[in-house]
Amino acid sequence: MLYNGPFANVDDVSDLINHGERYLPLITPYNAAMHLGHMASYRHALRYAYGKKVLDVGCGVGYGSHFLAFFGAVDVTGMDIDPQVIDYASRNYNHPALHFVLSYKDKPFPFEDQTFDFIFCSQVIENLEDPLLFLKEIRRVLKIGGFCLITSPNKELFSPDPYLTPNKYHINEMSYSELSGLGKRVFSQVKVAGIPQNCLVQHADKIVTVKANEEINPEDFSMRSENVSVCENLLMFAHTRPNGKFDPTLPVSHNQAAECLLPMFWDSSVNRWIILGSYPKNIVTPGVKVENKIAYGAVKAPFVSPYNNLYRVDIALLNAGEFNIDVTLREDSPEGQVLFHAEVTRTGRKLSLLFPPFQGAANKTYWIELQAHCEFLDKIINRKILPHFELKNGTLPLWTFHQELRVGTP
């Protein structure tokens, strides 16, 4: 099966993604460990970024910086050393409180002293040759009375034997005590929390592998302050004052954004942060038992919506084919009420269906019918030119999207 997750309508982003450990949500195949891990860190940063002037160091393609701005930081600067990602972020993640700045490796940050109230940095420090100098630069641009949140993988779990599981990008992974000790050399007060994640498998030979998407539990991405040394992701809070407090500023009305453990994405087609619904695995409709097979040109299959406000469905094609596709979405049964009908132009090997939200969609069964828009003879003579669909146990692998993330105004 070739389908690994939802894809964005982008023809060629190979130059952007084939560098380092970069992850582009809704473009590269869905990676639960990476996406849930990064968003878990940003969720906790949001608790302290609300109402603040924020610097996001190593912002990558910008989705996390946008998350902080969208949910209430008054000013967010996303900073990265790669001009390609700064260009991408500026074009794809727009918000009046957000802008992106290019920095340069081994050079001072392009800001005056004491510029920011809160600084966030996720999964960067382990890539640096001089992490101490890096922390000093963060301290320089942080206002007196402010603090930072820096996340990094736990060396004892990610690389128990770095010779067996090498990561050429992680040249300075740290353990709990090493990260805490480094922070105390620069900041007046340091505390370290952790996110269990539980996405790694340590084998008897000390080789470490990452679990498959369907084996990863979003509930494991909650922050905790106890037994931090056994957490895969470490979060260091560092304050400019010895008695400073790490007080959250997020109002109750915005708690949902900070507490949501499900996969969250920015969907520019609706200008909303939304939830990917079919993770961790596609829901198999009870009573449907069909052998795996490929359908050529046409397919009819059920799926269950796990949440309300279903507004989008993405479907992968094993072969894109040469024809547009007629799509019919029905309620309850193959003969049920038609909720959506359209002729859809595929983008590569993906169909993305966008429709008005179905508010009462949670746990409801829908039937989707896909039919290549072509002549009858085309279906008979040459299968190669038809779209190819894969059925798995009678279910068409697809991903559901939901406008469930509704955050009020304080």
| Same domain, residue pair 203 and 294 | no
CA distance 190 to 148: 10
pLDDT digits (tens), the chain, 410 positions: 334 566 654 544 555 665 667 788 887 778 899 999 999 999 999 999 999 999 999 999 999 999 999 999 999 999 999 998 999 899 989 999 999 999 998 899 999 999 999 999 999 998 888 999 999 999 999 999 999 999 999 998 887 666 665 667 777 889 999 999 999 999 999 999 999 999 989 887 778 889 988 889 999 999 999 999 999 999 999 999 999 999 999 999 999 999 999 999 999 889 999 999 876 555 455 445 555 588 888 899 888 899 999 999 988 888 888 888 999 999 999 999 999 999 988 777 788 899 999 999 999 999 999 998 877 666 666 777 888 888 877 678 888 999 998 887 54
Task: Yes or no: say if 373 and 387 are a contact pair by the CB < 8 Å rule.
Answer: no
pLDDT tens digits, one per residue of 15-30: 566 566 778 888 777 8
Q: The tokens 């993330």 sit on which residue?
A: 405
3 domain-assigned: no
Contacts (Cβ under 8 Å, ≥6 apart) of 269: 312, 352, 354
Residue 319 is classified by DSSP as: B
pLDDT tens digits, one per residue of 131-167: 999 999 999 999 999 999 999 999 988 876 666 656 6
Distance of CA 251 to the CA centre of its chain: 24
Q: Which amino acid is at 343?
A: E
| Same domain, residue pair 230 and 152 | yes
Q: Enter the pTM of the model.
A: 0.90
CA distance 370 to 401: 19
CA distance 270 to 274: 9
In the chain, helix, strand, coil percent, each to 5?
A: 25, 30, 45
Q: Which amino acid is at 353?
A: L
Q: The tokens 């195949």 sit on which residue?
A: 29
CA distance 317 to 390: 8
Final residue belonging to a domain, choices 240, 262, 284: 262
Helices (H), 124-271: 131-141, 155-158, 176-184, 255-259
21 domain-assigned: no
| Same domain, residue pair 242 and 284 | no
Residue 35 has a CB neighbour count (10 Å cut-off) of: 23
Final residue belonging to a domain, choices 228, 262, 296: 262
Domain count, the chain: 2
Give the DSSP per-residue string, 54-122. EEEET-TTSHHHHHHHHTT-SEEEEEES-HHHHHHHHHH---TTEEEEE--TTS--SS-SS-EEEEEEE
Q: Which amino acid is at 15?
A: D
Q: What is the CATH number of the domain that holds 344?
A: 2.60.120
18 domain-assigned: no
Q: Note down the domain range covering 370.
A: 276-402
Among 4, 9, 3, which residue's Cα sits nearest to residue 353? Answer: 9
Give the DSSP per-residue string, 162-183. TTTS--TT-SS-B-HHHHHHHH
CA distance 403 to 311: 7
250 domain-assigned: yes
Contacts (Cβ under 8 Å, ≥6 apart) of 146: 116, 117, 118, 119, 239, 240
380 domain-assigned: yes
Task: Yes or no: say if 368 and 358 are a contact pair by the CB < 8 Å rule.
Answer: no
Final residue belonging to a domain, choices 216, 233, 262: 262
| Same domain, residue pair 207 and 308 | no
Phi, psi of 319 (to 5 degrees): -140, 125
CB neighbour burial string for 176-208, b if at least 16 within 10 angstroms, e if fewer: bebbbebbeebbebbebbbbbbbbbeeeeeeeb
Task: Yes or no: say if 261 and 222 are a contact pair by the CB < 8 Å rule.
Answer: yes
CA distance 76 to 67: 10
- Classify residue 41 as left (phi > 0), alpha (psi -120 to 50) or beta: alpha
| Same domain, residue pair 362 and 241 | no
Q: What is the CATH number of the domain that holds 243?
A: 3.40.50.150
